[in-house]
Amino acid sequence: MYPLVKNLISLLNSLNSGIRFVYEGLDLVAQEYNLIDAILVTETSDFGRQIFRLGRKPVEENAFEAGLLKVPVGLYCEPEISDLDQGVLLNLFEMALSFEQSKHDARHDSLTNLLNRRSFDEILSNLSVQSGRYGWQFALVLLDLNDFKIINDTKGHLEGDRILKEVARILSGSLRSGDRVARVGGDEFALVLANASMEGANQVVQRIKNSIVDINVTVSAGLALAPLEATEISVLWRLADSRLYKDKQAHEVDLKR
């Protein structure tokens, strides 16, 4: 087994994706043991139960997978291999997936599971270069919950956290392919809307506002369009932020009426 472990460790060091390592590692294990089938079952608090099958095959084809949603975490092979070998291989696969989870945690907000500010800035930087070079169009949208401090002060931070998670769910459900959303501050969110016109972006913002009202919260928003208005990140952010401020002022005026 030593040559196999050595090859797996070498593979792990050469890849930057834990999930890719699992699938390619299962291929190596299958070659070593002449396996007909193999399934890895893992479970974490962040990602829940995950099932990986040799050859990326689906996991509902025959009786071999019966009860996989209930079986303990482990490596299940056909034909079976020794418990010792299973344990060593399982440790390697779990190490790779822990690496994947660490990468996920570093790029995502721990409360909402949205992208964090650092990840969003990287995406925005890349889009801004592409927009300036190729004319690719996108909208930067900044959102800020109205009177969120009052919610925290009167109903407590647990309720505030619940609302932030609900807002994150609504925003994630509003995305199309190519769009991105992040939590960039306490009650501040940002979106990138790919291939969006000003009219289209405003429609998305209005739908978001209408959806968020359903959870008894309101939100102010501001947006800027690249490359029509700017391609530099600082300029786009300043434009969107100034429009967000005006929207928030209008909200405060409405409250006083």
Q: Looking at the DSSP assignment, which residues form a beta bridge with residue 38? A: 77
CA distance 117 to 231: 19
Residue for token pair 């009426």: 257
User: What is the token pair recorded at 226?
Assistant: 């690249």
Predicted confidence at residue 192, as pLDDT, reads 95
Contact 99, 15 (CB under 8 A): no
CA distance 177 to 1: 44
Predicted confidence at residue 93, as pLDDT, reads 87
CA distance 162 to 226: 33
Helical segments of 108-232, H only: 117-134, 148-155, 157-173, 198-213
Predicted confidence at residue 253, as pLDDT, reads 64
**Helix/strand/coil for 43:** strand
The set of residues, in sequence order, having a beta carbon less than 8 Å from that of 203 and lying 6+ positions away, is none
Helix or strand (DSSP H, E) at 251? helix 233-256
**Helix/strand/coil for 49:** strand
**Helix/strand/coil for 215:** coil
CA distances from residue 48 to 42, 56, 165 in whole angstroms, order as listed? 8, 19, 18
Write phi, then psi, for 37 (nearest 5 degrees).
-155, 155
Q: What is the torsion angle, in degrees rounded to the nearest 10, for the CA atoms of residue 71, residue 75, residue 81 and residue 84?
A: -100
The sheet carrying 74-78 orders its strands as 48-53, 37-44, 74-78
Write phi, then psi, for 58 (nearest 5 degrees).
-65, 165
pLDDT tens across the length of the chain (257 residues)? 668 888 888 887 887 788 888 899 999 999 999 999 999 998 876 667 888 999 988 776 554 445 666 778 889 999 999 888 888 888 888 888 887 777 777 788 889 989 999 999 989 998 888 888 888 899 999 999 998 888 888 888 899 999 999 999 999 998 888 899 999 999 999 999 999 899 999 999 999 999 998 888 999 999 999 999 998 999 999 999 999 999 999 877 666 65
The domains of the chain, with CATH numbers, are 2-107 (no CATH), 117-256 (3.30.70.270)
